[in-house]
Amino acid sequence: MKKYSKSDYQYDVLIIGSGIAGLSLALHLSSKYKIMIATKSKINESATLYAQGGIAAVFDEKDSIDSHIKDTLIAGNGLCDHEVVSFIINNARQCINWLVSNGISFDIKSCSKGKINYHLTREGGHSYRRILHNADCTGREIQNNLVNKVLINNNIDVAENIIAMDLITSDNNNVYIPRRVIGAWLWNCNKKQVETCSAKVIVLATGGASRVYRYTTNPDVVSGDGIAMAWRIGCRVANLEFNQFHPTCLFYPKGQSNFLLTEALRGEGALLLRPNKSRFMLDVHERAELAPRDIVSRAIDYEIKHNNIDCVYLDITHKSPKFIHDHFPVIYNKLLKFGFDLTKDIIPVVPAAHYTCGGVIVDKSGRTDINCLYAVGEVSYTGLHGANRMASNSLLECLVYSWSIAKNLFQMLPNINLIDLLPSFKKTHYANHFFSERDIKNDLNSIKKYMWDHVGIVRTTKSLKYAKHEINILKKKINNQYVNTHLSRQMLEIRNLVQVAELIINSAINRKESRGLHFIDDYPDLLPNAFPTILIPSNYIK
């Protein structure tokens, strides 16, 4: 890895984020261009690293592209962009082959006459076994292999512990060409200083925003930064009311846990039980435990609230210990540390915020509303997921869009100039006051609590309005602190989280119906026509 050591930089492309989206795009582009990946923590750290279930694609002979498309549209509940769904699913196999050519391996069922038959698992919403996986740690297999490829690539520089703070546009720089992105301000966590990077193109690959909720499966590095940065410079965002709650996160009251229990467990036969060991999903949906995620999470939420219980239980004890060890080795071992034996015990579970279906609006080439700014992966809104993402379609979207952006940039980059940043941008941020990390932590806990209690799995107009009021107060306080305080990772993140919280609430207030992941008690029905919720910032230029 060529680590960067200067305090300002110039590249063809700056990619912010090192999950599957950022890493694969960097590898695609590196055959021709100089790339910098700036990443908030260690290069491996990302939601991608923790992905368990796998990647959806049509590999079963009985399955078909049409069936994958149909299932995605059904899960998305009338809000998917049909053309985008078709584009992604039709390109799934070639993108997965690209992953395999980069050293990623998936579990194989059999291999005959040179033809590999992958072991495909099943998840909610899918009509067929369709999920390629590497045991129960598919994300680790992908992340570690892509990172290894990136680290030996001479055209990719990696900057760890660097947080993108904000994007610099040409008008910031007193250059009045058609407005475009020309660089970014970066916070160097080691040196505790502000630095800059200029680039011909910047790509946001910063992941989603589920950390805005109290209980989440997401790692700490994912804090809605890309959505907030894009919004601040005038990009539209869409469908942020559709935050997906994964039905089965470990319930562990002795300590906060964000440990996911993959949907593949249910795909392989695990059942959901009440504390008295009765099943409840049979009465809710014809696919029972394998209904789309929004339906399963809402059913669990109902059981918890109406029976006044803390959690429900996941039971796979009817499968043989060998089957469990072979298919779910990581989960089995991790649960042992929490005191549960997956082969013998039923496991307490609750839903937790998992995935941001909305995001920064992009076209099929990943272009945002601002010239030279692209977005890829969970930060973006492509139109694939509609009102509810189907399991294992996310890694797929990251892969297909990074390939598509690269194709576009091979055409565009020769015509884009690098613009020197004004020297005044390079000065460090001066702090007048000091706010302790405890203050920030308290405010962060408040944001997460308001979002969980009032903008959660089931909402009401009253709860949304209450959350809006409280979040507005916090936003004013945090923005005021931001300009008057010592910068820190916590300060940068809370500024973005409170911004995204506001956008989620505003989107939820705008939708006067219940659809997919957005269930609002006072509007329980579907409206006849489905439209995305688009929020337009005041500085948006058409």
Residue from 260, 353, 419, 503 touching ligand FAD (CB under 6 A): that is: 260
Residue from 24, 394, 404, 481 touching ligand SIN (CB under 6 A): that is: 394
Q: Which two tokens stand for residue 474?
A: 């916090």
Tokens 């601040």 belong to residue: 232
- Give exposure, 235-251, as e/b (b: 16+ Cβ within 10 Å): bbbbbbbbbbbbbbbbb
Is 293 an active-site residue? Answer: yes
Residue 227 interacts with ligand SIN (CB under 6 A): yes or no: no
Using CB under 6 A as the binding rule, the residues of this chain from 339 to 378 that contact ligand SIN are 355
Tokens 């940039």 belong to residue: 409
Residue 377 carries which DSSP code? Answer: G
Residue 335 interacts with ligand SIN (CB under 6 A): yes or no: no
Segment interacting with ligand SIN, rule: CB under 6 A, options 34-42, 257-265, 303-311, 467-475: 257-265
Segment interacting with ligand SIN, rule: CB under 6 A, options 16-24, 143-151, 167-175, 386-394: 386-394
Q: Which two tokens stand for residue 269?
A: 């036969």
Residue-by-residue DSSP string for 277-338: S-B-GGGT-TTGGGS-HHHHHHHHHHHHHHTT-S-EEEE-TTS-HHHHHHH-HHHHHHHHHH
Residue 225 interacts with ligand FAD (CB under 6 A): yes or no: yes
Cβ closer to ligand SIN: 356 or 392?
392
- Give exposure, 89-98, as e/b (b: 16+ Cβ within 10 Å): bebbeebbeb
CB 432 within 8 A of CB 215: no
Q: What are the phi and psi torsion angles at 194 (to 5°)?
A: -85, 135
Residue 68 carries which DSSP code? Answer: H
Residue 390 interacts with ligand FAD (CB under 6 A): yes or no: no
Catalytic residue among 140, 293, 367, 515: 293
Residue 518 carries which DSSP code? Answer: B
Cβ closer to ligand SIN: 260 or 491?
260
Residue 84 binds which entry of ligand SIN, ligand FAD, none, CB below 5-8 Å type-dependent: none
Q: Which residues pair with 350 in a beta bridge?
A: 249
Residue 50 interacts with ligand FAD (CB under 6 A): yes or no: yes
Residue 247 interacts with ligand FAD (CB under 6 A): yes or no: no
Segment interacting with ligand FAD, rule: CB under 6 A, options 34-42, 408-416, 435-443, 503-511: 34-42
Binding-residue total with ligand FAD (CB under 6 A): 42
- Name the percent of the chain in helix, strand, coil, to the closest 5: 35, 20, 40
Residue 134 interacts with ligand FAD (CB under 6 A): yes or no: no
Residue 9 binds which entry of ligand SIN, ligand FAD, none, CB below 5-8 Å type-dependent: none
Cβ closer to ligand FAD: 225 or 369?
225
Residue 77 interacts with ligand SIN (CB under 6 A): yes or no: no
Give contact residues for ligand SIN (rule: CB under 6 A).
52-53, 262-264, 355, 391-392, 394
Q: Which residues are catalytic?
A: 293
